[in-house]
Amino acid sequence: MTGPTAPAAPADAAGGTARPTPRARRVRLLPGFEGRMMAPGLLLLAALSIVPFLAIIVMSLARVRLLGGVGLDWVGVDNWKRFFTDPDLGWIWVRTGVYFTLTVGLEMLLGLGLALAVWRLARGRNAALTLLLLPMFAAPVIVGLLGRFLTDSTFGLYTWLLRQVGYDGDILGSKASAFTAVVLMDVWEWTPLVTLIALAGLTSIPASVREAAAIDGAGGWSMLVHIILPSISNVLLVALLIRSMDAIRYFDVIWATTGGGPADATKTVPVRLYETAFRFFDLGYAAAIGLAMLAASIVVARAFIRVLDREGLTR
Amino acid sequence: MAVHPPAPHEKTPAPPSVTISDAASPTASHAAPDSAGAVPRRTVLRAAAAGGGALLLGACASRKDAPRHATADPWRQFAGTTLNFISENTAPTAAIAADLRPFTRLTGIRVNIVTLELSALVQKVALDLASGQAQYQVIYADPYQVLAPYSKGLVELRELAAEPDLPKPPGGFDDFIPTQLDAAGRFADDDKVFALPYDCPTMIWQYRRDLFDKYRDRMAADLGFDPMPGEDTTWEQYYAIAEWFNDNADDVPYGTGHQAKQHDSLMCDFSNVLWAHGGGYFDDDPAVGRLGAVDPGPCRLDSDAAIAAAEFYRRLLAIADPASRTWDWDGVGAAFRAGRLAMCPNWHEFAAANEEVMPGKVGYAPLPKGPARRAGMYGGTGIAISANTLPNERRAAWLFLVWATSPDTQLRGLASKVGGGTPTRRSVYDRPDVKAAARRPSPMPNLLTTDAVERTWRPDAIGLRPKIPMWNECDTAVYTEVSRMLAGDASPAEAMRSARRRFDRIIARGWKA
């Protein structure tokens, strides 16, 4: 890293001449003060992120052996060729996209609705918010196990309730209902996070703005569309970004409930990645899938950040 | 994770103590910078850095082997050693973990037991073998997920058995049930043994004996054959009985239930039918299942017999409890105990739970025959020693293997209050008390299945899935395709042909551990 040229100020402070010396004008090889301060963080980041990232790139070009220490047999772009010709992977990406759209979309809609409802509460707002937030504190794998018990056809509460209203199918037994169930489990867990973020935005809207709009004759819908939503659009975008990053790598609930079935109906890219890496120990191919997943995450994140940037919210 | 605490009578070495001088603290050095005897901060920092470096080097240095004591008692040679045993959370391990005192008393060796769900265990073992260390000296070596892919990372046990100073397995290797020693202990080479058979879950027919007795005459009259499970009962008759219960009995909602979730369990359940119909995974299925192979040859899942088996399985699942598609072995076991089913194929070790909930109401028999033969999936596992162990550590681990699979320990496991599997040795089944326990009332309920499992373990009846290094991926291919068939996404022929194509692709890539 190249540091900035040395400023003249230290020379002044030392009682020397104000003109920069030829030595001071030279570009420093060592990092400056800011660089030195950032160095520990950068080194840690390198150790935790950059080195593994480079290792994964290397692994994606090799066949990984485990016995007697990790070894790599170079296979060139074979793993990538396989990635682009894998007959199952295309559908898995499509399924992941549908899943992503449904979970994030529902969470945003429900989260906003719940936030508005809680915001309007005159009494018991804290109690309602506490109850609403509870699912968020459960580990995703616990949500999966809970979902599996609740939908179990022998003793599941939801199964029993659905039977009372005439639904005789098995929730995790058919493709559509299993997919719906895992989507709803994620929505159940993470809608409260969107609610919380949206509520933070709502409480920051100045009362004077709402009062002015009301005096101007804005009704409930107009107030929502023209005053409230524009006021909290920045925090909603942040919520969308957070949930999107999370939804792309969603794994625990699916693995704990359906394992990707029935008939691969709930197999998303993270599930396939896990299988490839830790069931088949095909670490080279898993590295290729993982890098593709990383690229997809970056594309989504960049899209949202660009929107935030356009709104001037990243500064 | 279950970690066995040290036995009360054992002495635990005191942790190394670290004493820090007051002068090492910044406060002290600032308070008296020039006082005699005070250590400057820079010196302390240097010393700390040197200490840290030494620790790091120590961590990287070669490991120290277990000491071997000169003693006349071969069991006490490695007293004071600590072993780590990683196991699936199975009944025999629960029984051993509950009472390790006999082993510690016998050998002076302490054993920490870590129990995990199988897939988590496989990950830990693979990474431990890759590390070149032996954090786990004793390994629960699933034949398909550990033994086949990582046999080169396991110790050949015959070498240890041949050492004159070490105890031998009581009764020798021949006391183990032969099919189990081959399936759970060997890989590819008949002359080598990598694991000692430790547990032996086997799929059998579990049925509500009370309901079969109640409706026997009516069923016989309606169906035209004696419905009681017997030597000649076929899968077609099983189907007819299940359908009869669906239509005629109010005691249970469904005649049969299956472990047909998109999971390893679906492969197990389907394979029983596949083999019974004369189908198979490869040309030489019995040999590939029994000894294993790295290159098993082309897949035969698209044979006429395999497609016929798939057609039957789809037909059977169409009349089974619809929730079958959400159940693995635990799910179907729970449904059976909850009174939803008149019968089901399941692992014989579920007998203990059945007898607890429905004492005396459940019968056990080998699975029905198909057009070709009878087959019941064997799911046993052996325990092995990591090849990364140091010589004495390895010998200490051998003592544990011999003890854990000994007749006395297996017998104690049978009577354990916390679980206990079923023995893997012929000598245990030959004991009069064990034979007596195979009849009701039995203090060891898993033994009520003895007749059914012994008949299933015969070479012509045992169902052995292919023991190949890449089995996990093939397993996923077959249960995914059968799941697609059950969901209506593919016909039996399409599913089997697609599974065959996937198998061939996987096998063609080969395996390098």
The residues, any chain, with a CB within 8 Å of residue B55's CB and separated by 6 or more, are none
**List of chain B residues whose C-beta atoms are within 8 Å of the C-beta of residue A278:** 119, 122-123
Nearest to B333 by CA among B245, B230, B257: B257
DSSP conformational letter for B374: B
CA-based nearest distance B264→chain A, Å: 10
Q: Please tell me the predicted confidence (pLDDT) of residue B3.
A: 34
Q: How far apart are CA B180 and CA B169, in angstroms?
A: 15
Lowest mean pLDDT across B251-260, B273-282, B289-298, B440-449: B440-449
**Do B74-200+380-430 and B203-377+466-509 show the same overall fold?**
yes
CB contact under 8 A, B263 and A69: no
Q: How far apart are CA A192 and CA A180, in angstroms?
A: 19
B470 touching chain A per CB within 8 A? yes
Q: How far apart are CA B268 and CA A69, in angstroms?
A: 33
**Residue ranges covered by each domain of chain B:** 74-200+380-430, 203-377+466-509
- Burial, B55: exposed, middle or buried (Cβ in 10 Å; 0-12, 13-18, 19+)? exposed
Q: pLDDT of A5-42, one tens digit each?
A: 334 344 344 444 445 455 555 556 667 888 889 989 98
**List of chain A residues whose C-beta atoms are within 8 Å of the C-beta of residue B124:** none
Domains, chain A, in order of start with CATH, read 90-310 (1.10.3720.10)
Q: Please tell me the predicted confidence (pLDDT) of residue A67.
A: 83
Q: Please tell me the predicted confidence (pLDDT) of residue B418.
A: 76
CA-based nearest distance B148→chain A, Å: 13
CA-based nearest distance B12→chain A, Å: 33
Q: Compute the half-sphere exposure of residue B361: CA atoms within 13 Å on the CB side of its CA.
A: 18
- Which has more confidence, B216 or A207? B216
Q: How far apart are CA B281 and CA B286, in angstroms?
A: 10
Query: Can you name the residues that pair with B111 across neighbouring β-strands?
Result: B83
**List of chain B residues whose C-beta atoms are within 8 Å of the C-beta of residue A91:** none
CB contact under 8 A, B483 and A264: yes
Could you tell me the pLDDT band of residue B29, with boundaries at 50, 70 and 90? Answer: very low
Q: Please tell me the predicted confidence (pLDDT) of residue A16.
A: 42
- Which has more confidence, B4 or B108? B108
Could you tell me the pLDDT band of residue A63, with boundaries at 50, 70 and 90? Answer: very high
Q: Going along chain A, which residue ranges are E strands?
A: 62-65, 71-74
Q: pLDDT of B74-89, one tens digit each?
A: 999 999 999 999 999 8
**Residue B204: helix, strand or coil by DSSP?**
strand
Q: State how far Cα B369 lies from the chain centre.
A: 25
A281 touching chain B per CB within 8 A? yes
Q: Is the predicted pLDDT of residue B14 greater than 80, yes or no? A: no
Q: Please tell me the predicted confidence (pLDDT) of residue B42.
A: 58
- Which has more confidence, A23 or B502? B502
Lowest mean pLDDT across A216-220, B206-210, B331-335: A216-220
On whether the CB atoms of residues B411 and B404 are closer than 8 A, the answer is no
Assigned CATH topology for domain B203-377+466-509? D-Maltodextrin-Binding Protein; domain 2 (3.40.190)
CA-based nearest distance B90→chain A, Å: 19
Q: Please tell me the predicted confidence (pLDDT) of residue B54.
A: 52
Assigned CATH topology for domain B74-200+380-430? D-Maltodextrin-Binding Protein; domain 2 (3.40.190)
Buried b (16+ CB within 10 A) or exposed e, A82-108: bbeebeebeebbebbeebbebbbebbb
Lowest mean pLDDT across A40-54, B168-182, B338-352, B497-511: A40-54
> Given B338, B472, B489, which is nearest A154 (Cβ)?
B338
Lowest mean pLDDT across A51-65, A214-228, B247-261: A214-228
Q: Which of B116, B121, B326 to mutate to test the interface with A (most CBs of A within 10 A)?
A: B326
The mean pLDDT value for A128-149 works out to 93
> DSSP for B52-82?
HHHHHHHHHSPPPPPP----S-GGGTTTT-E
A175 touching chain B per CB within 8 A? yes
Q: pLDDT of B433-482, one tens digit each?
A: 999 999 988 888 889 999 999 999 999 999 999 999 999 999 999 999 99
CA-based nearest distance B477→chain A, Å: 11
Q: Please tell me the predicted confidence (pLDDT) of residue A304.
A: 84
DSSP conformational letter for B299: B
Q: Please tell me the predicted confidence (pLDDT) of residue B125.
A: 93
Q: How far apart are CA B126 and CA A152, in angstroms?
A: 33
B334 touching chain A per CB within 8 A? yes
Q: Which of B262, B502, B504 to mutate to test the interface with A (most CBs of A within 10 A)?
A: B262
Mean pLDDT of chain B: 88
Q: Is the predicted pLDDT of residue A291 greater than 50, yes or no? A: yes
- Which has more confidence, A290 or B57? A290
**Residue A48: helix, strand or coil by DSSP?**
helix
A78 touching chain B per CB within 8 A? no
- Nearest chain A residue to B131 by CA distance is A69
Could you tell me the pLDDT band of residue A1, with boundaries at 50, 70 and 90? Answer: very low
B483 touching chain A per CB within 8 A? yes
Query: Can you name the residues that pair with B282 across neighbouring β-strands?
Result: B299
**List of chain A residues whose C-beta atoms are within 8 Å of the C-beta of residue B150:** 66-67
A69 touching chain B per CB within 8 A? yes
Nearest to A194 by CA among A233, A227, A243: A243
% of chain B with per-residue pLDDT over 90: 75
> Given A69, A170, A264, which is nearest B323 (Cβ)?
A170
A85 touching chain B per CB within 8 A? no
- Which has more confidence, B3 or A150? A150
